[in-house]
Structure 1
Amino acid sequence: MRIRAAVYAAVLTVGFAVISAMPAYAVANGEDVPQGKFAFAAKLTMTDIPKPDGSKYDSACSGALIAPQWIITAGHCFHNAQRDPVSGPVPYPTSVLLGTTVQGDGLGETRTVTDVLQSGKNDIALAKVDKPVTDITSLSVRRKAPALGEKLTLAGWGSLTATHRAPSAKLRQGRMKVTEVAETTVAVQGSAPKNDTSACSYDSGAPYFIPEGDGGKLVSIESTGPECPHTEAETTARADVVEDWICEHIA
């Protein structure tokens, strides 16, 4: 799931697709994340998402462990049939995979989302899981604002291209640079391994962070951007501007 920021409060139409059996990768023109790294990176799988006509579909988002019982992701990942973001009990069955860079039998840890909280300030949500994750180091929110030219790491479970969209079976990463800082968002562009390394469908909610040991400092969350891969700016939601709200709920 990815959206255009301009239509965030209206109809969310960009980046939604039914999960298919197509080959899947993640972070267009990125690199595989070695097993054992970025254990906090989360893959959210949603099923039976309602449509206005009464039918349903499946989808996915990325995210990160921000506290033992909380995942941070994009707000637009949780919505009603009209695609308005919602808070409260999770609106459709959502599972979370953590602690692995490859999806497979017996790998990682799986949790179930029970409740969702929307920040109300930008495209960020907190998803509460049914059982705490106590053996994985969480990301922590960095308090200071992003700086122009700063390099960030993106890790997500999204698609490789917009042509055959499908959630990934592998976690991938890319290096991004900050190109613009706004009041509640920050624009980023690909830096490495290529200048068109970029987020893609199902990378919604993926963290942009500065690695530190087993965890890192969270700077922003993937929200929306052009079709991938691309060299244009990607819109991400700043984590520092909702840091107090996050701490209030995960304490």
Structure 2
Amino acid sequence: MPQRRTMFAAGAIAATAAGITLAGGVPAQAIANGEPVPDGKYAFSTKLTMTGIPVLGGGTRNSACSGALITREWVITAGHCFRDENGVRVERPVAASTVATVGRTDLVTGTGGHDVEIVEVRQSATADVALARLAEPITDIRPLAVSRRAPKVGEVLRLTGYGSLTSANATPATHLQTGQLVVESLADSTLGVRGRSPNPDTTPCPYDSGGPFFRESRGHAPQLVAVVSDGPSCPHTELEIPARTDNIAGWIRGVTGR
């Protein structure tokens, strides 16, 4: 799924999406000009590693997306991370193996966290959002809460992801990255956000597709409001277009039981 404008997370590894076509749905990527996350922070952050995705005409490819643990058994990500050979979003894992790595900040030196297979996928009918069920529950990591409150223009949101650091020769990062973006507009199923910190061009990149945008406030747990969905090649100072989750919180709760 590299080339975020076409909704595929960058390069030779592209994540596929699922059996419902959405207007404007396209994959997104990892965080350019962000900063490394301290070990153990934002433990709900998730990397999805897809191995053996069928390719039209034969053969397979590998890819990756980002996401977040929102209940003990469910991860939220971008809908386009699960697509068949024809680029159609589907409600099933499309790769021979899709593994969620949760709670491991550094994928090379880290020893904690969990690696759990994805066994079920559900797609939102109105947004580029998918829910992926884990083969077994994760009980020692606090899930990210899903907000029902729409973000406001001017609100600062934090993003985490395991995507590439640039669109050029994109490769998934091995250490969780983070940055902040500010909300500039709201639409029915998307937001418009722009880079804020640590740099004005802090933006998602390939393989950041599905990464969580969440609000932080002192004394309160983080709250999910959107996931990485679409945007220009990174880094950039233009608008990024994440998929809203606050206005599908009822559907999320219906699927996950939370």
**TM-score, normalization: structure 1?**
0.90
The aligned runs of 1:146-225 (5 Å cut-off) are 146-211=151-216, 215-225=221-231
- Cα deviation code 1:112-159 (max 9, x no counterpart): 000100011100000001000110001111111111010000000000
How many Å separate the matches in 1 of 2:138 and 2:220? 14
Aligned-partner Cα distance in 2 for 1:154–1:184: 18
Q: 1:109 aligns with which of 105, 114, 138?
A: 114
State the Cα deviation string for residues 83-116 of structure 1 (Å, max 9, x = none).
Answer: 10001x3221100111121003633211100010
Equivalent position of 1:120 in the other structure: 125
In structure 2, runs of 5+ residues without a counterpart are 14-28
- CA root-mean-square deviation: 2.0
Once the two structures are superposed, the pairs formed by residues 64-79 of structure 1 within 5 Å of their partners are 64-79=68-83
Residues 151-194 of structure 1, C-alpha deviation per residue, up to 9 Å, x if partnerless?
Answer: 00000000001112111100000010001100110011100000
> SS in structure 1 opposite 2:66?
strand
**Alpha-carbon distance between aligned partners in 2 of 1:15 and 1:231, rounded to the nearest angstrom:** 19
CA shift at 1:35, angstroms?
0.4
Equivalent residue pairs, number? 240
Distance (Å, rounded) in 1 between the aligned partners of 2:105 and 2:116? 16
Does 231-240 or 209-218 show the bigger shift?
Answer: 209-218
Aligned mates of 1:49, 1:37 — CA distance in 2: 31
TM-superposed deviation, 1:211: 3.2
SS at match of 1:243: helix
Q: Percent identity?
A: 43
Q: Paired residue for 2:11? A: 17
Return the alpha-carbon distance in structure 1 between the equivalents of residues 117 and 221 of structure 2: 22
Q: Kindly indicate whether residue 246 of structure 2 is the aligned counterpart of residue 240 of structure 1.
A: yes
Q: What residue number does 1:31 align with? A: 35
- Aligned counterparts of 1:133 and 1:13: Cα–Cα separation in 2: 29
Greater shift, 95-104 or 195-204, is seen at 95-104
Partner of 1:90: 93
- Alpha-carbon contact 2:9-2:208 (below 8 Å) kept: no
1:22 alignment partner in structure 2: none
Unaligned runs of 5+ residues in structure 1 are: 6-11, 20-24
Name the TM-score, length of structure 2 as normaliser: 0.88
Query: Is the alpha carbon distance of 1:166 and 1:240 closer, same or farther for their aligned partners in structure 2, counting shifts above 3 Å?
Result: same
Distance 1:187 1:3, change over 3 A: farther
Match of 1:136 in 2: 141
Partner-residue secondary structure (3-state), 1:117: strand
Deviates more, 1:209-218 or 1:230-239: 209-218
CA deviations on 1:5-54 (whole Å, 9 max, x unpaired) are 7xxxxxx56434224xxxxx951000000001000000000011111111
CA offsets 1:51-76 (integer angstroms, 9 cap, x no match): 11112110000000010000000000
**Paired residues of 2:7 and 2:230 also in contact (CA < 8 A):** no
Secondary structure of 2:80 counterpart: helix
Question: Could you tell me whether the CA contact under 8 Å between 2:44 and 2:68 is conserved in 1?
Answer: yes
AA paired with 1:178? V
Alpha-carbon contact 2:9-2:65 (below 8 Å) kept: no
- Runs (4+) of structure 1 exceeding 2 A deviation are 1-5, 12-19, 104-107, 211-215
SS in structure 2 of the partner of residue 67 of structure 1: coil
Tell whether the 8 Å contact from 1:45 to 1:96 is kept in structure 2 after alignment.
yes
- Cα–Cα, structure 1 residues 214 and 169, in superposed 2: closer, same or farther, change >3 Å? farther
